[in-house]
Amino acid sequence: MTNHEPSPIDFLHGRSLLLASHSPRRRELLAMLDFPFEIAESIEVDETYSPEMPVEEVPAYLSQKKGDAYCSHLKDGEIVITADTVVIIDGMILGKPKDDADAIAMLHTLQGKTQTVVTGVSLTDSTHRRTFSVSTEVTFAPLTDEEISYYVSRYRPLDKAGAYGIQEWIGAIGIEGIRGSFYNVMGLPVHRLYEELKAFIR
């Protein structure tokens, strides 16, 4: 691309993007959009929510809480991206496993079934916020005890909602199909994020 050609990411108009996430996968996914961004300084956020809240609404709610925590720290022109991903099976939320035994139990729950992965994302600047959610259905094939134990011991998925990464070995051998965004299952629905950023800037 020569200097005189327009760029599809010029709509940021000099705004600065901050990503508030420890997830290396979210960092990789946001980098795919070719926007320059920085990692926001960590802020502790209370991630509790009402047990009466519909489970599909929890990720968006938590992304808003995270965005609110950063709002007063933002400079003019800065936009912080906050996100939360959960796995929902049989009306129950599976977050990140506490330990290997919890990860194994989660995968036993998921194997042979269809689950819903929901990511909530908030875009927040010093004056306003935009929040959205994206859902993807993921169907696991039946898995053996040996396959589950091998994956957990080798890949250590303790930092992943539902105890698995779709881009890893377990995804290659165990996922029969998905309906919706693949990248959403990894933790950031980049297509929708790109569209929402354009709307946010306008």
CA 186 to chain centre: 6
CA 7 to chain centre: 27
CB 139 within 8 A of CB 114: yes
DSSP letter assigned to residue 159: T
To the query of whether residue 68 is one of the catalytic residues in this protein, the response is no
Catalytic residue among 84, 100, 145, 159: 84
Pair type for strands 175-179 and 129-140 = antiparallel
Q: How many helices (H) and strands (E) does the chain have?
A: 7, 7
Closest CA to 15 of 120, 127, 119, 121: 127
In angstroms, the CA 17 to CA 39 distance is 9
Q: Catalytic positions, please?
A: 84
